[in-house]
Amino acid sequence: MDQLKENFFHVRDLTKIYKMGEVEVQALRGINMELYAGELVVLLGPSGSGKSTLLNIMGGLDTATHGFVSYRGQDLTKANEKELTEYRRSHVGFVFQFYNLISSLTARENVSVVTEIANKPMVPEDALALVGLTDRLDHFPAQLSGGEQQRVAIARAISKNPSVLLCDEPTGALDSKTGILVLEALERINRELGTATAIITHNVDIAGMADRVIHLSNGRIAEVTANKVKKSASELQW
Amino acid sequence: MKGQVFAITLVVMSGMATFIMFISTMNSLNFTRSKFYRDYNFADVFVTLKRAPESLKDKIKNIDGVDQLETRVAAYAKLDIKGFSESVTGKIISIPDDGKPLLNCLYIRKGRLADPARDDEVVINETFAQAHHFNIGDQFAAVINGKWKKLTITGIALSPEFVLLMKPWAMSPDFKRYGALWMSRKAISKAYDMEGAFNDVVLTLRPGAKLSDVLRDLDNVLGKYGGYGAYARKDQISHRLLSEEFKQLQTSSKIFPTIFICVAAFLLNVVMSRTINTQREQIATLKAFGYNNIDVGIHYAKLVILIISAGVLGGIAFGIWFGKMLGGIYMEVYRFPFFIYKLYPEVIITAIFISIASALTGTMHSLWMAAKQTPAEAMRPEAPVKYRVSLIEKTGIGRRLTQPSRIIVRNIERKPIRTFLSIIGISVACATMISSGFFKDSIAFMVHVQFILSQKEDMTITFTDPTSYKAIYELKETQGINNSEGFRTVPVKLKFGHHSYRTVINGIEPDSSLHLLLDTNLKNISLPPSGILLTDHLGKILGVRAGDMLTVEILEESKAVRQVPVVALVKQYLGVMGYMDLNALNRLMNEGDAISGAYLVTDSNYRSKLFQTFVKMTRVSGTIVRNDEVRNFYDVQAKGMLFFTFIATLMACSIAFGVVYNSARISLSERSRELSSLRVLGYTRGEIAYILLGELGLIILVATPLGFIIGYWLCAYIAQALGNDLFRVPMVIELNTYAQAAVVVLVSALISGLIVRYKLDHLDLVGVLKTRE
């Protein structure tokens, strides 16, 4: 990867141990990685490989047991609850498998939820236009298809102009056709806005659209590969 | 669900406890009273007269329907108690010389009956003994028929006749200044020149006897002996006050538990529908395994019963405890020799039945919804919740709302019934609190009207017999008396149409400055030179209005029957009586310028000297000091009121807490996913707490003023239900009471809010992202 690009995330010896009842589960076993400005990374691995845990810690949703994670020099492992909230509020956009929209708010209002508290937000309508939902602004989640809901979630995530977009199985609940529409939206954002994007998936086919693919297995990074030729989302198939 | 079950338990427990408390106290008092009356042979009919020869006894006994009969000598005496300068009145009643009264027998708590051979021995009632710390062998003096006599206490007793001992026409009992005394018939007859005669009759009726006939025949026989009119047990003052108290208990036992049961049913409904919703899949699995609807229904019914059973059991235990406590408070004023606590099994069964039935009714809808789903349907996740733009937003406010506020408004509007019931629940808590403050306000207002606006005198003296008005001039000359006005009190029976009522007419000086009459707007009414004014409640009892002609049957010697026009109705919260111009009343009586007593304004420096003077004046039978009367009134009310306030506050808090906590908890469980999502998006804890607690805040904001309105209605109902001819409850609620109610609701809400806030701060952000809605 281009070493001149700013290194957004710096992860060193990251370990996470969960206690589930009396059993200890080691989700991460010493992860070392970087995420650079503007790149699109796919974290690939089977379920239980630790990819969501890694993303959650990078997103300031969870804390590490050992190790070090920094975002643009800010040590996230030492941040308190208030600082993590501020970090999520200002820098990170999240996209989840189950969209997590507020069902009482329309598409436009779901985006406004974020723009209202962001420092330099987009206009909600513009964010929705970027994901191709200009004609669905006043629809409630219950009136939208799964793909449309996920695109609202993407619009919501990018509307604060985040430096980084963390997507946890964004196509996991969608059929392939709709999934590709969603990935196209993510690709466009990455390309046009230059937002660093990390996509978690267990779907190998999606890896084709990444700059780099980080393979996780059993809490460790098994392999990091760079795509010499990136596929566009529309070329993907599964 | 732990917290919610606790909240429901609290509400069910409060409901059960109040139900058991009121019912068991009422049953216990009723049982105790009946047993006391039966065992101590309480009379059915009472009559007081001037004087009749003992030979008349047989004639009375021959009246059809009369069973047991006892003639007695009864008199009022001034008592002189060492170390207590104020005026004390004793009602002395004779005990037959064989020592055993046939009727209204005495329960001797301590000591023995007076020796018939001695004229200086006396038995006194318990409250009087306690008020003065008297013991057996102690002495005090009495002015009996003008003669000062030292008496020795031989016994302390209780009588069914004086379960509540109250001076005739007094506003409240005064255990220090009024006592019942029993002496041997021989001694008292001699002192009052009543040998071979009697002036008081008590009797019981044969089964099947017609009361009205006996009363009529009795009046016919005793009329020429100065009979004041026979009356039945229901009009006997102690019995009547006790019955009124029972009526109040009965009203309370209906109102308060009903409130609780409804709130509990509502809470259960909310909790169960949420539980069933989250357990859709389990229900589906069970049904897929072959369980039928009834099995599923029974499973949840068992859960409901389990949830309320702790509340029911706790409620029964607390109910018994509170009931005994309340019984104890009653026993301080109402004196029975024993208090038999009675909790009938059917009361417990009813309580359990009511709570289970209402709980199941409350959850019926959810159970039905659970049962009717097909397994396939239930296994699918619930359809996304449909929302729409709320009505409030359509008014134009919408554009100004932030997204979190929008979420609040839309959520409230989406579940109108639940929101409405939550509002009602909290309002009811507020209303309950108002009802407890209302008693205090109402009594204070009653006292203000009676003792500040109306009665300007600070002391009243009564004469043994009607006396010439000249006495007023003498009183005015007395050092320490600044002003004095005469009054005449005449016992009468007032009749209008088929209604009649025994009371007194009070004749007061035409331009009295000491005893003012007030109209229904509490403005002074000047006394017209003729005609009668009735207290408004008496007007209602008799069905008369100003301008109607009233039949007045005088119960004193003259026994005259006159027609008197009703001039107006006057506002009075205590007592029921008629008022006339003193001169007009004397004309009606065919008497000269007679008075029965005087209202006085005295110099407080001369107070004790005046007491001494009055004790020595043979024609003065008693004195009433206004401040004592007010103090007594409060003393008697105070404990009961304190207890009631305590119970009402407890109830209000448990309802408010139960409703608010449950609403918050349910909202939290329904919306934790949404709120977690917002946290992930960068919302702070405070910002998401605003969404959840803001909704509750809005509900409380609406519920509190509504609670004021419901509280007002509740108080109006209580006032109307509790009012009787002894007192009417004025509908007065001070601002302070509203404020206190609001504070209690807010504090309860705040506590439950804080608990929920704590849970909110510990939301599992990661877990929630992994689950489908």
B658-681: per-residue pLDDT in tens?
888 888 888 888 888 888 889 988
Query: Which of A52, A86, A113 faces B681 most closely, judged by CB atoms?
Result: A113
Locate all alpha helices (DSSP H) within B334-390, ordered by sequence.
345-372, 375-379
In a domain, B526, yes or no: yes
Query: Which of B681, B687, B770 faces A114 most closely, judged by CB atoms?
Result: B681
Token couple for A179:
């999934």
In a domain, B69, yes or no: yes
Judge whether residue B130 has pLDDT over 90.
yes
The boundaries of the domain holding residue B506 are 481-602
The residue among B294 and B694 whose pLDDT is bigger is B694
Q: Among B8-22, B139-153, B383-397, which is the least confidently predicted range? A: B383-397
In a domain, B610, yes or no: no
> Would you state the pLDDT for residue B624?
84
A14: alpha, beta or left? (left if phi > 0; alpha if psi -120 to 50): beta
In a domain, B173, yes or no: yes
Same domain (yes/no): B528, B665: no
List pLDDT tens digits, range B54-90. 999 999 999 999 999 999 999 988 898 988 877 788 9
In a domain, B283, yes or no: no
Same domain (yes/no): B93, B172: yes
List pLDDT tens digits, range A151-188. 999 999 989 889 999 999 888 888 888 889 889 988 98
SS3 labels along B448-492: HHHHHHHECCCEEEEEEEEEECHHHHHHHHCCCEEEEEEEEEEEE
List pLDDT tens digits, range B232-270. 999 898 998 888 888 888 887 888 788 877 877 777 777
Query: Which of B387, B680, B772 faces A98 most closely, judged by CB atoms?
Result: B772
CA distance A220 to B427: 59
In which band, very low, low, confident or very high, does the pLDDT at B383 lie, cut at 50, 70 and 90?
Answer: low
Is 0.90 surpassed by the pTM of this model?
no
Distance of CA B274 to the CA centre of its chain: 41
Q: Among B46-50, B131-135, B332-336, B632-636, which is the least confidently predicted range? A: B632-636
CA distance A65 to B497: 94
Query: Which of A100, A102, A118 faces B769 most closely, judged by CB atoms?
Result: A100
Task: Give the pairing of strands B561-570 and B197-205.
Answer: unpaired
Residues of B within an 8 Å Cβ radius of A: 383-388, 402-404, 406-407, 410-411, 414, 673-674, 677-685, 687, 765-766, 769-773
DSSP states of B44-65: SEEEEEEEEETTHHHHHHTSTT
Q: Where are the beta strands (DSSP E) in B603-635?
A: 620-625
Judge whether residue A1 has pLDDT over 60.
no
For residue A169, the chain B residue with the least C-alpha distance is B770
Mean pLDDT throughout B458-483? Answer: 90
Give ipTM to 2 decimals.
0.89
> Would you state the pLDDT for residue B44?
96
Same domain (yes/no): B596, B638: no
- Looking at chain B, the whole-number percentage of residues with pLDDT higher than 70 is 97
CA distance B678 to A26: 28
List pLDDT tens digits, range A68-92. 999 999 999 999 989 999 999 999 9
Residues sharing a CB contact under 8 Å with residue A188, sequence separation 6 or more, in sequence order:
A130
Judge whether residue B651 has pLDDT over 70.
yes
Same domain (yes/no): B123, B180: yes
Nearest CA to A5 out of A34, A31, A32, A33 is that of A34
The residue among B773 and B444 whose pLDDT is bigger is B444
In which band, very low, low, confident or very high, does the pLDDT at B654 lie, cut at 50, 70 and 90?
Answer: confident
For residues B510 and B583, the answer to whether their CB atoms sit within 8 Å is yes
Nearest CA to B108 out of B132, B129, B78, B138 is that of B129
CA distance B528 to B511: 10
Residues in B closer than 8 angstroms to A104, CB to CB, are 385, 387, 406-407, 410-411, 414
Average pLDDT along chain A? 90
Mean pLDDT throughout A123-134? Answer: 91
Q: A223: distance to nearest CA of chain B, Å?
A: 26
Torsion of CA B496, B497, B503, B504, to 10 degrees: 20
Residues in A closer than 8 angstroms to B381, CB to CB, are none
> Would you state the pLDDT for residue B381?
61
Same domain (yes/no): B109, B230: yes
For residue B403, the chain A residue with the least C-alpha distance is A113
> Would you state the pLDDT for residue B168?
72
A73-132 residues touching B, CB cutoff 8 A = 81-82, 85-86, 88-90, 92, 94, 96-98, 100-105, 109, 112-114, 116-118
In which band, very low, low, confident or very high, does the pLDDT at B770 lie, cut at 50, 70 and 90?
Answer: low
Same domain (yes/no): B577, B701: no
Domain endpoint, select from B240, B266, B282: B240
Same domain (yes/no): B139, B211: yes
Same domain (yes/no): B61, B168: yes
User: Three-state DSSP class for B608?
Assistant: helix
In which band, very low, low, confident or very high, does the pLDDT at B46 lie, cut at 50, 70 and 90?
Answer: very high
Token couple for B665:
């908890």
Q: Which of A87, A90, A104, A145 to mutate to test the interface with B (most CBs of B within 10 A)?
A: A104
Mean pLDDT throughout B591-602? Answer: 92
Whether residues B411 and A62 touch (CB distance < 8 A) is answered with: no
> Would you state the pLDDT for residue B261?
78
List pLDDT tens digits, range B208-232. 999 999 999 999 999 889 888 899 9
Whether residues B683 and A85 touch (CB distance < 8 A) is answered with: yes
CA distance A164 to A190: 9
Residues in A closer than 8 angstroms to B387, CB to CB, are 103-105, 140, 142
In which band, very low, low, confident or very high, does the pLDDT at B378 lie, cut at 50, 70 and 90?
Answer: low
Residues in B closer than 8 angstroms to A114, CB to CB, are 681-682
Same domain (yes/no): B426, B517: no
Mean pLDDT throughout B415-436? Answer: 87
Same domain (yes/no): B494, B530: yes
Whether residues B683 and A117 touch (CB distance < 8 A) is answered with: yes
The residue among B629 and B152 whose pLDDT is bigger is B152
Query: Which of B403, B683, B684 faces A105 most closely, judged by CB atoms?
Result: B403
Size of interface A-B (CB pairs under 8 A): 92
Residues in A closer than 8 angstroms to B403, CB to CB, are 102, 105, 109, 112-113, 116
Whether residues A88 and B386 touch (CB distance < 8 A) is answered with: no
Judge whether residue B511 has pLDDT over 70.
yes
CATH topology of domain A37-64+86-235: Rossmann fold (3.40.50)
> Would you state the pLDDT for residue A131?
86
**For B364, what's the count of Cα atoms within 13 Å in the CB-facing half-sphere?**
7
> Would you state the pLDDT for residue B716?
92
Same domain (yes/no): B194, B47: yes
What distances in angstroms separate CA A30 from CA A23, A153, B105, one per listed residue? 20, 31, 96
In which band, very low, low, confident or very high, does the pLDDT at B756 lie, cut at 50, 70 and 90?
Answer: confident
Residues in A closer than 8 angstroms to B390, CB to CB, are none
Query: Which of B384, B678, B685 faces A141 most closely, judged by CB atoms?
Result: B384
> Would you state the pLDDT for residue B83?
86
Q: What is the count of structural domains for chain B? A: 3
CA distance B748 to B116: 65
Query: Which of A56, A97, A117 faces B766 most closely, judged by CB atoms?
Result: A56
> Would you state the pLDDT for residue B384?
64
Residues sharing a CB contact under 8 Å with residue B340, sequence separation 6 or more, in sequence order:
B28, B31, B32, B35
CA distance B266 to B425: 8
Judge whether residue A3 has pLDDT over 60.
no
Whether residues A113 and B411 touch (CB distance < 8 A) is answered with: no
Domain endpoint, select from B174, B205, B240: B240
CA distance B432 to B419: 20
User: Three-state DSSP class for B133?
Assistant: coil
Judge whether residue B773 has pLDDT over 60.
no
Mean pLDDT throughout A41-67? Answer: 91
A25 contact B CB<8A: no
In a domain, B380, yes or no: no
Domain endpoint, select from B204, B220, B240: B240
Average pLDDT along chain B? 87
Same domain (yes/no): B537, B486: yes
